[in-house]
Amino acid sequence: MKSLLVLAHGSRRGQSNDEVRQFVQAVREKSNGRYGTVVCAFLELTKPLISEGIDQCVKDGTDEIIILPYFLAAGRHVVEDIPAEVARKRAQYPGVTMQVREHIGVADALVDLVMAMADNTL
């Protein structure tokens, strides 16, 4: 079974974290069964942390986790913290494949999206 783990930064503001959870709920609905579970986790400031998110996927019976960094730029969280944490979890769960995708900031589509939001034409 394949899982999708969407990884966000986490905020001191509860509503911001809820916004991410609702976003991931929309991704879950859209995924239309392609993933057995779609969960979110955070780097800091709120739960579940990335380690706990991966534990949850494993507990749900996954053997492959697609990890998507929901970050606009590759700061230290993306370049250092996420790979380090995933390396630890790979060692813990050698039978589970974990693939880390690029952060969403690399997507060309964001240029059009920003343009449309600036122009109020979305």
Binding site for its own copies (CB under 8 A): 4, 6, 8-9, 11-13, 15-17, 19-20, 23, 26-27, 30-31, 34-35, 66, 68, 70-76, 78-79, 101-102, 104-105, 107-115, 117-120, 122
CB of 99 to its own copies, least distance (A): 9
Give 24's contacts (C-beta < 8 A, 6+ positions apart): 6, 38, 39, 40
Which residue's CB is nearer to its own copies, number 1 or number 117?
A: 117
Give the length of the chain. 122
CB of 89 to its own copies, least distance (A): 18
Helices (H), the chain: 14-31, 50-59, 76, 82-92, 109-119
Which residue's CB is nearer to its own copies, number 1 or number 73?
A: 73
Using a 10 angstrom Cβ sphere, with 0-12 exposed, 13-18 middle and 19 or more buried, the burial of residue 6 is buried
Which residue's CB is nearer to its own copies, number 9 or number 89?
A: 9
Using a 10 angstrom Cβ sphere, with 0-12 exposed, 13-18 middle and 19 or more buried, the burial of residue 72 is middle
Which residue's CB is nearer to its own copies, number 35 or number 85?
A: 35
Structure token digits, residue 44:
């800091």
CB of 113 to its own copies, least distance (A): 6
CB of 5 to its own copies, least distance (A): 9
